[in-house]
Amino acid sequence: MRAPPRGRAQPAARRPAPPRLAAAPPPEIAARIILKTDAVLVLDKPAGLPVHAGPRGGASLEDWLPLLAFGKKRMPQPAHRLDTDTAGCLALGRTQPALAELGAIFAQHRARKTYWAVLRGTGPAEARGRIDLPLRKTSTAAAGWRMEPHSDGQPALTEWRVLGRGGGLCWVELRPRTGRTHQLRVHCAALGFPILGDPFYGTAAPGGLHLLARALSLPMTPPVEAEAAVPEAMAAAFRRAGAVLPGGGTGGE
């Protein structure tokens, strides 16, 4: 192979063009956007979709991120976690400064998170209360991992309020003051009334886990306020427990 003549400039190697991000998400994903600002997206995450891809692969919210860029060079990133089986409000940062601000808000417990759940049974006798019960992770070869109440566990605090009762079910509002894995599920089970459809700490049921990240309030400038609707798969149970939802009154469908 002949060497190039001395003194002649060689053309620079071509760099691959960066991938073009979607200018707009497809309709089925766009319908999941509750709120969009230049800094933040809040999505209504469907139950059954993990936020992060697992070691075994499979669909996750990460597959959506390029479709949620709206033409920005940077893809949005989740600012906090939401269990795979939990539906509802999930915040994503659209810029690096926004993601850093969101990270600080969640780390300092300044985010106001409100959940709705349907519990099996009539629920606690009181109208409201708090559960202060430390949790730790445990694992066995037969059953896999789960969270359990334990005095050596991490502090976990949940405030709860009964919103309705009916049909052998109880509709509650839950406000976690800490963010432990499966905190709300374990705390409700510890009250003696597991969340309807919880296969880990109760019993599986049609409609899956009846736990909804109902609302999210973030002290940003301007403030972020978002609210997710009750998914159709959960609606019948919420109505039985006394919730009045669009498309029908109280009671079963």
Q: Are 196 and 118 in contact (CB under 8 A)?
A: yes
d(CA 163, CA 244): 11
3-state secondary structure of 199: coil
User: What are the catalytic residues?
Assistant: 83
d(CA 247, CA 235): 10
Give ∠ CA 162-167-171 in degrees, rounded to 5.
Answer: 20
d(CA 78, CA 99): 8
Q: Are 216 and 102 in contact (CB under 8 A)?
A: no
Pairing of β 87-93 and β 211-218: parallel
The β-bridge partners of 218 are 224
3-state secondary structure of 225: strand
d(CA 79, CA 20): 23
